[in-house]
Amino acid sequence: MFGLPDITGYSMFLLICAIMAAGAFFLLIQAAMGLVTQAQTQRIVNRRLQFKDRFASTSEAMVELRKSRGLDADGNFAMPLERFNRLVVRSGLPYQPLKWVAMSAAGGVVAGGAYMHFVGGWLPAVGICLLVFLVGPIFVLKHVAGKRRKKLAGQLPDALQIVCRSLEAGHPVATAVSLVAREMPDPIGTEFGMTADEVSYGFSLTNAVQRMAERSGDPDVELFGATVRLQEKTGGNLCDLLKANTTTIRERQTMRLKVRAASSEGRMSALILTSAPFMVMLAIHLTQPSFYGNVIHDPLIRYGFAGLFVWMFIGNLVMRKMINFKM
């Protein structure tokens, strides 16, 4: 008959040692993987740290980071069109003109081809193609810059708290700013990192923070810059001023959320009023292709549709301005 194996005390000891060794090996592997993951996270926590890992010196990394943002080697706006330059910098996207032109041209061709296929008429299609090619990148950059500005504004109170705690621990201001650059992700990490680098290379804290406010385009960062200028001119405890600044920023963000909630009905109404006619026309065209008959091929209808697109686009912009409250 089959019975249980005879396990002596020595065999039991070996079995326990083997289990403990396997557990220790597993814990060692987990610890090693955790260290690797932590090192990778620390290295890629923000874009500035990536550039510092890629280049040998901090000055070279700072210059290349500025150029990738659409700035010159000194950190100034370098493009002839300053408003477009500010939009590129505030979007945070890597400045790649050839890639942007190719993507804009592809978007214009797709939009013009779609109009030719569903409506017809080469002249309106060319106009739509040029409109998407010229105006499309601006709207994309504005959208990306708006999302980045909102994220930066949400990170700013935590960044100021880190600065305050570092100042209370006895660190200088430059060290407190660089601590934010090491610990926080983008976009606030890169912005504070560029500010810390500029302070390290001879800029005053006031000028460096002012340049950060110009790069970000956020009113809360401008408030932070005004607080630093006030402390430099009148003196006082910078930590106390930053704490009051943090409280003010949080209250303003709370008010913005309340205003956004109050205007949500208007924003949804604008979206529905803009998209409903096109959705109905598309549904009719897909379900009943012969519904419009030969009328759809009339030149007057074609040009009328092109004018309708432009007019509704302008109306959407006007409604967006009416419900976009800035505080």
What confidence category does residue 300 fall into, taking pLDDT thresholds of 50, 70 and 90? confident
Confidence of residue 268 (pLDDT cuts 50, 70, 90): confident
User: What is the percentage of the chain residues whose pLDDT exceeds 90?
Assistant: 38
Q: Which residue has the higher pLDDT, 307 or 1?
A: 307
Report the C-alpha gap between 197 and 181 in whole angstroms.
10
The Cα–Cα gap between 69 and 87 comes to 10
Range ranked top by mean pLDDT from 1-10, 150-159, 168-177? 150-159
Q: What does the alpha-carbon distance between residue 320 and residue 322 come to, in Å, rounded to a whole number?
A: 5
Question: Is there a contact between 195 and 178 (Cβ–Cβ < 8 Å)?
Answer: no
Closest C-alpha among 58, 60, 95 to residue 77: 95
Per-residue pLDDT tens digits for 55-98: 888 889 999 999 999 999 999 998 888 899 999 999 999 998 99
DSSP state string for 27-88: HHHHHHHHHHHHHHHHHTSSHHHHHHHHSSSHHHHHHHHHHHTTB-TTSSB-SSSHHHHHHH
Contact 207, 219 (CB under 8 A): no
Sequence-separated (6 or more) residues with CB below 8 Å from residue 69: 88, 89, 92, 95, 215
Q: How far is C-alpha 119 from the geometric centre of its chain's CA atoms?
A: 37
Measured CA angle at 229 (ends 227, 234), to 5 deg: 95
| pTM above threshold 0.95 | no
Q: How many residues does the chain have?
A: 327
State residue 15's pLDDT score: 54
* Partners of 46 in beta bridges: none
Distance between CA atoms of 136 and 218, rounded to whole angstroms? 23
199 close to 174: Cβ distance less than 8 angstroms? yes
Q: Which of 20-24, 150-154, 197-201 has the lowest mean pLDDT?
A: 20-24
Find out whether 227 and 245 touch, Cβ atoms under 8 Å.
yes
274: amino acid identity, one letter: T
